[in-house]
């Protein structure tokens, strides 16, 4: 294990800190504005269109297509929901999201497969999977689920090493026990996102704007163009084919903002906050390697090692280098984890996206990955590993800092000098939506619309 020489700093950049984009009064108003068309932003917009057929929902995405960032650079695993603390949002939204995801995939023929997964343990790691199993037994159905009878929400089973080798013959003899999780699966995330885009654009009220970047956001005060009673946020966008760096600019009054901008999440909020209250963001790179070669005969389940646990059982920063399959049966290993160091001058627009330079896969971590994989699949050879792709985790805490839940933060224009009172014109920011964000996205949307939005008083 490589030790961190010095703690990695978080990036606390702010959007528009150069002042390049001057304030402009809004020209049009929308009811809902969603920033970001990753799985989470799309899921929120889809639910808004469905739940509010008379309110406009506008999605703004800086890339030319949906899901170009983290949503297309992950394991595409539908997680069962065993890993996180029982009372966390991650557990609640993963359990609920998993069921919503399978339902949607079945209903709309979205390619997916409930493969199940094995968490494999050597002798000294048995307590870890035994604890996971106990936790699974105690798990409760989350809100909104319609569990019929008393079926367990996490039907896991502890099996012996031999039983696990009966399922996956090439597992190491050192594996002495495993936890079988039948609810885990894989999904084609692109088809899934297309289904959400389809719902949004087919609805009367939904609108998707690609190659359009939010460049500035201000609390709405009042202006000649809009009625006095309006509450919300003035959102400035720039549209162009070069990732939104063109010159066509729009200024929109958004009565409610949903900020699902993923890795760039905090920068918009930071633009409103004094430096000492800015939210730092840590970026943790995860690399995948494809594999062709011996040692994986007939593999048909996902295989996870026991994660390296930090100060407590929930503190791990990643689930360990695991084996995943795609829907064509192709095997890949990953993701590993490497915290990135941001550039020292933060407040420039290119530096905000410094992490994009780290998206190019390379072979620097293959050797370490091979060592990790050999622990449970001993016949896997280094020669068969090829760098495949890289994803970046949006982290709110640095390496070793312990468990961090999803964060949903609500701000109101009046707190930043805008009009209205607390409760009016909300902006809901989604922070730290790392894994299991894909699995959870439909439940995140449900939670935001059913629980968070109804607790506010969106301006009419
Ligand atoms: C290595 C790795 C493996 C993972 N594996 C899994 C897994 O197996 N299962 C699982 O459930 N989850 C997994 N996850 C987590 C999952 O991928 C994320 O939680 C999920 O994709 C987050 O979606 P999002 O919509 O919040 O963010 P994103 O997909 O990052 O979307 C945010 C969007 O906002 C846009 N945007 C940003 N700023 C602006 C702006 N100013 N104006 C306009 N648009 C903007 C971006 O272009 C982007 O498209 C993994 C994550 C990583 C990194
Ligand atoms: C790997 O599995 C195949 C059967 O799927 C078996 O024939 C082979 O012997 C196994 N290799 C090892 C080293 O166990
Ligand atoms: C968007 O969400 C991020 C967290 O992902 C937050 O830091 C940022 O300030 C939010 N943007 C706005 C406009 O609030």
42, part of any domain? yes
Report the atom number in ligand 1 closest to the C-alpha of 392: 53
Identify the pLDDT of residue 405. Answer: 96
Q: What are 118's strand-pairing partners?
A: 180, 303
pLDDT surpasses 50 at 227: yes
Identify the pLDDT of residue 348. Answer: 62
Interval 139-174: pLDDT, tens: 999 999 987 767 899 999 999 999 999 999 999 999
Residue 197 and residue 42 in contact, taking contact as beta carbons nearer than 8 Å: yes
Burial of 326 (0-12, 13-18, 19+ CB in 10 A): middle
**Local confidence band at 397 (pLDDT 50, 70, 90 cut-offs):** confident
286, part of any domain? no
Interval 75-107: pLDDT, tens: 999 999 998 999 999 999 999 999 999 999 999
Q: What is the DSSP letter of 281?
A: B
pLDDT surpasses 80 at 346: no
pLDDT surpasses 90 at 345: no
Backbone angles phi, psi at 135, to 5 degrees: -65, -40
How far is CA 221 from its chain centroid?
Answer: 33
Interval 279-302: pLDDT, tens: 888 889 999 999 999 999 999 999
Burial of 134 (0-12, 13-18, 19+ CB in 10 A): exposed
Identify the pLDDT of residue 109. Answer: 98
Mean pLDDT of 380-408: 92
pLDDT surpasses 60 at 1: no
Mean pLDDT of 303-321: 66
- Indicate the helix (H) or strand (E) that contains 289: strand 282-291
Nearest ligand, CA of residue 37?
1
Nearest ligand, CA of residue 409?
3
pLDDT surpasses 70 at 55: yes
279 lines ligand 3 (CB under 6 A): yes
Identify the pLDDT of residue 350. Answer: 62
Residue 165 and residue 171 in contact, taking contact as beta carbons nearer than 8 Å: yes
pLDDT surpasses 50 at 5: no
Interval 350-381: pLDDT, tens: 677 888 889 999 998 899 999 999 999 999 99
Identify the pLDDT of residue 377. Answer: 97
C-alpha angle with apex 266: 391 to 284, nearest 5 degrees? Answer: 25
| Cα 95 from Cα 73, distance rounded (Å) | 22
DSSP string, 169-185: TTS-TT--EEEEETT-E
| Cα 75 from Cα 440, distance rounded (Å) | 14
Distance 121 CA to ligand 1 centre (A): 30
Distance 167 CA to ligand 3 centre (A): 45
Tally of domains in the chain = 1
Identify the residue whose C-alpha is closest to ligand 2 atom 5: 297
Residue 366 and residue 318 in contact, taking contact as beta carbons nearer than 8 Å: no
**Local confidence band at 3 (pLDDT 50, 70, 90 cut-offs):** very low
369, part of any domain? no
Identify the pLDDT of residue 322. Answer: 92
* Number of CB atoms found within 10 A of residue 96's CB: 24
Host domain of residue 454: 1-76+188-279+400-460
Which mutation among 161, 165, 297 tests ligand 2's pocket best, with the greatest number of atoms within 8 A of CB? 297
Helix extents (H) in 264-375 = 265-270, 349-352, 366-374
CATH number at residue 69: 3.50.50.60
90, part of any domain? no
Query: Which of 324 and 7 is assigned the larger pLDDT?
Result: 324
Identify the pLDDT of residue 48. Answer: 98
| Cα 83 from Cα 182, distance rounded (Å) | 15
Query: Which of 2 and 404 is assigned the larger pLDDT?
Result: 404
| Cα 280 from Cα 62, distance rounded (Å) | 22
Torsion of the alpha carbons at 124, 125, 129 and 134, rounded to the nearest 10: 50
Mean pLDDT of 185-206: 97
Residue 60 and residue 214 in contact, taking contact as beta carbons nearer than 8 Å: yes
pLDDT surpasses 90 at 458: no
349, part of any domain? no
316, part of any domain? no
Burial of 1 (0-12, 13-18, 19+ CB in 10 A): exposed
Query: What does pTM read for this prediction?
Result: 0.93
Question: Which residues are within 8 A (CB) of 205 and not within 5 positions of it... i.e. 6 or more apart?
Answer: 49, 52, 53, 54, 55, 56, 57
354, part of any domain? no
Report the atom number in ligand 2 closest to the C-alpha of 298: 5
Identify the pLDDT of residue 456. Answer: 86
Residue 307 and residue 318 in contact, taking contact as beta carbons nearer than 8 Å: yes
Phi-psi region for residue 19, left (φ > 0), alpha (ψ -120 to 50) or beta? left
336, part of any domain? no
pLDDT surpasses 80 at 309: no
Question: Which residues are within 8 A (CB) of 5 and not within 5 positions of it... i.e. 6 or more apart?
Answer: none
Mean pLDDT of 249-277: 83
């Amino acid at each position: 294990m490589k030790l961190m020489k010095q703690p990695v700093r978080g990036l606390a950049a702010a959007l528009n800190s150069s002042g390049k984009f001057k304030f402009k009064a809004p020209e049009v108003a929308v009811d809902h504005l969603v920033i970001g068309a990753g799985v989470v932003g799309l899921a929120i917009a889809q639910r808004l269109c469905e739940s509010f057929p008379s309110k406009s929902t506008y999605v703004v995405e800086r890339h030319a297509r949906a899901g170009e960032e983290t949503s297309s650079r992950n394991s595409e695993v539908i997680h069962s929901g065993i890993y996180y603390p029982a009372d966390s949002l991650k557990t609640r939204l993963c359990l609920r999201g998993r069921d919503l995801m399978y339902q949607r995939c079945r209903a709309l023929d979205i390619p997916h497969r409930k493969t199940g997964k094995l968490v494999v343990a050597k002798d000294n790691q048995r307590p870890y999977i035994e604890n996971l199993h106990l936790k699974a037994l105690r798990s409760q159905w989350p809100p909104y689920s319609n569990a019929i009878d008393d079926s367990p929400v996490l039907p896991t089973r502890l099996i012996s090493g031999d039983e696990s080798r009966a399922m996956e013959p090439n597992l190491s003899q050192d594996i002495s026990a495993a936890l079988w999780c039948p609810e885990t699966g894989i999904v084609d995330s692109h088809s899934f996102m297309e289904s959400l885009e389809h719902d949004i654009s087919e609805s009367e009220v939904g609108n998707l704007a690609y190659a359009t970047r939010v460049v500035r956001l201000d609390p709405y005060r009042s202006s000649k163009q809009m009625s006095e009673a309006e509450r919300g946020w003035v959102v400035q966008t720039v549209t162009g084919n070069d990732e939104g760096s063109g010159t066509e600019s729009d200024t929109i009054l958004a009565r409610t903002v949903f900020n699902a901008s993923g890795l760039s999440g905090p920068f918009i909020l930071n633009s409103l906050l004094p430096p000492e209250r800015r939210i730092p963001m840590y970026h943790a790179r995860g690399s995948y390697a494809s594999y062709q070669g011996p040692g994986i005969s007939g593999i048909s389940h996902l295989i996870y090692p026991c994660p390296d646990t930090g100060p407590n059982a929930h503190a791990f920063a990643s689930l360990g280098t695991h084996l995943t399959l795609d829907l064509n049966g192709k095997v890949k290993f990953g993701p590993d984890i490497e915290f990135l160091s941001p550039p020292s001058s933060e407040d420039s627009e290119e530096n905000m996206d410094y992490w994009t330079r780290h998206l190019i896969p390379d072979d620097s971590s293959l050797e370490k990955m091979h060592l990790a994989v050999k622990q449970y699949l001993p016949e896997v050879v280094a020669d068969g590993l090829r760098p495949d792709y890289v994803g970046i985790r949006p982290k709110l805490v640095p390496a070793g800092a312990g468990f961090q839940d999803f964060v949903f933060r609500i701000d109101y224009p009046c707190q930043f000098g805008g009009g209205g009172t607390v409760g009016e014109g909300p902006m809901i920011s989604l922070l730290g939506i790392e894994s299991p964000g894909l699995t959870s996205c439909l439940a995140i949307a449900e939670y935001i619309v059913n629980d968070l939005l109804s607790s506010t008083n969106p301006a009419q």
